[in-house]
A and B are shown apart, each in its own frame.
Chain A
Amino acid sequence: MLKKLQQDRRAILGLLIISLIVIFALTVPLWRQYDPYQSDLKKIARPPSKEHWFGTDELGRDIFTRVFYGARISLTLGCVSVGIGLLTGISIGVVAAYWGSWFDMILMRLIDILLAFPPILLAIAVVSVLGPGMYNAMIAVGISLLPFYARLVRGSILVVKEQSFIEAARAVGASDFRIIHRHILPNCLSPILVQSTFNIASALLTASSLGFLGLGAQPPLPEWGTMLSRGRTYLRVAPHITVFPGMAIFLVVLAFNLLGDSLRDALDPYMRKIRPKE
């Protein structure tokens, strides 16, 4: 699989964008002297210049520094949300598929109800209960991903658990826990991995949408959606305040989508079969 990824331009481009943003996010305090929270009222809404590559925002803060500090927050938001969705979704999917019967029926009907809400609306519903804030946004986005993971994991396990190596593991006396974590889950990893790559992109979009609506991370945190929301008031006089955080969201989402596309093709036997014929 790694060899296939190395040959795919999409994967290389995706990984390159993500790596660059992560490196910049981690090293920006070392080579930029600006504080992302320190306002400078003499430099309000300045356009991009040699001194301030992305210009300054409505409080005179360096947008370049804030965008890369924001990368830490936005990427953490995306990854933690996917982690929450993954853990809860896998747990529900495993319980439903492995133990089955009425338990499976009840859990899957509950998942059907959650699936009836578009992810961002589900996240908004959760935020309306928990209240706005960065940590609540992580939980909300995680819960909005839960039904997709539960369905995906359940489907994969239903196929794997009928295989003869599972029967063999059971015959030698392996416990349910061992069968699940040593034999079943590793064999369901491919679709989970592909879906998670896409989900980081969609979690980032949902989390930044919440930030934009004022329901996610709150100012002065340099979260990309929140920065955009503040910048839109100054769209007429200083559009650059809106351009750069938005571009950052777009690039990261694009990178994860490129990577996801490439991973899906690399792990899909059908794609492997048809592509050389073209």
Chain B
Amino acid sequence: MLGYLVNRLLFTVFVALGISFFAFVLLHFIPGDPAQLLADQWATKEHIEALRKQWGLDKPLFTQFAIFMMNLCRGNLGTSIASGRPVAQEIVARLPNTMILALAGTLIGVVSGLGAGILSGCRPYSLQDELTMFLALFGVSLPPFWFGLMLMWLFAVKWRVLPSSGAGTLAHLVLPAFTLGIGIAAVIARQTRASMLDVLRQPYIVTAYAKGLKESVVVCQHALRNALIPIITVTGLIFGRLLGGSVVVETVFGWPGLGRFLVEAIFTRDYPVIRGALLIFGLTFAFVNLIVDLTYGVIDPRIKYA
């Protein structure tokens, strides 16, 4: 287990370094002077020179990256051109909102997706299975921004039962979380069904039935636990889709999260914010994948002792 843990941790550190390098190098691909891009368009020559010094932009690329990493370790991601406030401070103010939305979306997705997938997997090719899988295919194909707008139109404009945008109360969370959750539920339902179909064919399931166990016990205690590994993998991967989806959903519902902040920053060409937001999104995804990999060890002892 220790070897596996160390291996995974080292890989995550490598990916985190890679993500940091990607975010760092992004600024250098944009035509123009990177110091000018980091500064306000009305910045004085002195200010631009000060920025050049602060980020070592007059030094070789490798040294620049080292300075960027040192600043990053101190929590210094630069200053937002639009607001003039430190980028780290701006991100810290918005990240909790994105996390709340992502977690609510995951919760809706996992609970409904697992339920639908188990029901389908236990009765393959039945009417119930065909219907659930067709609905799941619908869910996978729904563009989140359109689905969100349609929910907004129905619940906020037509029936006036939920707020159309903003944040602050639980009611504000319902529509964006459901918009995010439905796509995830569809993917998890498809994966759960496939995993359950695989596991339910195994001899130990026949043995469990032969012992006279109830179907609910066989499914929940024998089959589901063995079917969980691919489901967890997909859930981890989906968290990335969810972070990406949050950019769109936050824009639709005016949710004050990091995704909306990133899109606004692209319009104002606020490069320090773009760099910071991409970095945080990438690192969050890498961290979630690490947690997913470590969860395997808890669920499947074969991985723990491999």
Contact = CB atoms under 8 A, between A and B. Distances in A.
Interface of A: 109-110, 112-114, 116-121, 124-125, 127-129, 132, 201, 205, 208-209, 212-215, 225, 228, 232, 235-236, 239, 242-243, 245-247, 249-250, 253-254, 257-258, 261, 274, 278
Contact of B150 (A201, A243, A258): A243
B243 interface: yes
28 contacts: A112-B11, A112-B14, A116-B285, A116-B289, A117-B19, A117-B22, A117-B240, A118-B241, A118-B243, A120-B247, A121-B244, A121-B247, A127-B266, A128-B266, A129-B26, A213-B247, A213-B251, A228-B149, A235-B153, A242-B146, A242-B153, A243-B150, A246-B145, A246-B149, A250-B142, A253-B141, A253-B143, A257-B140
Contacts of A124: 247, 262-263, 266, 278
B263 A213 contact: yes
Interface of B: 11, 14-15, 18-19, 21-22, 26, 29-30, 124-125, 137-138, 140-147, 149-150, 152-153, 157, 197, 201, 240-241, 243-245, 247-248, 251-252, 262-263, 266-267, 271, 274, 278, 281-282, 285-286, 289
A113 B263 contact: no
Contacts of A242: 146, 149-150, 153
Given A125-B278, A208-B143, A228-B146, A112 B15 contact: yes
A116 B19 contact: yes
Contacts of B282: 116-117, 121
State the 4 A-B residue pairs at the shortest beta-carbon distance, nearest first. Answer: A246-B146, A113-B18, A118-B244, A120-B244
A245 B140 CA distance: 18
B247 A113 contact: no
A236 B157 contact: yes
B18 A213 contact: no
A130 to B, nearest CB: 9
Nearest to A261: B137
Q: Is the interface of B mostly helix, strand, loop or mixed?
A: helix
Q: Is the interface of A mostly helix, strand, loop or mixed?
A: helix
A205 B141 CA distance: 8
Nearest to B19: A116
- Residue of A109, A124, A253, A274 with highest tally of chain B CB at under 10 A: A124
- Residue of B145, B153, B245, B271 with highest tally of chain A CB at under 10 A: B145
A205 B244 contact: no
Contacts of B19: 113, 116-117
Contacts of A214: 263, 267
Contact of A212 (B201, B240, B248): B248
A249 B285 contact: no
A250 B240 contact: no
A201 B141 contact: yes
Contacts of B285: 116-118
Given A116-B18, A209-B248, A239 B143 contact: no
Contacts of A212: 145, 248, 251
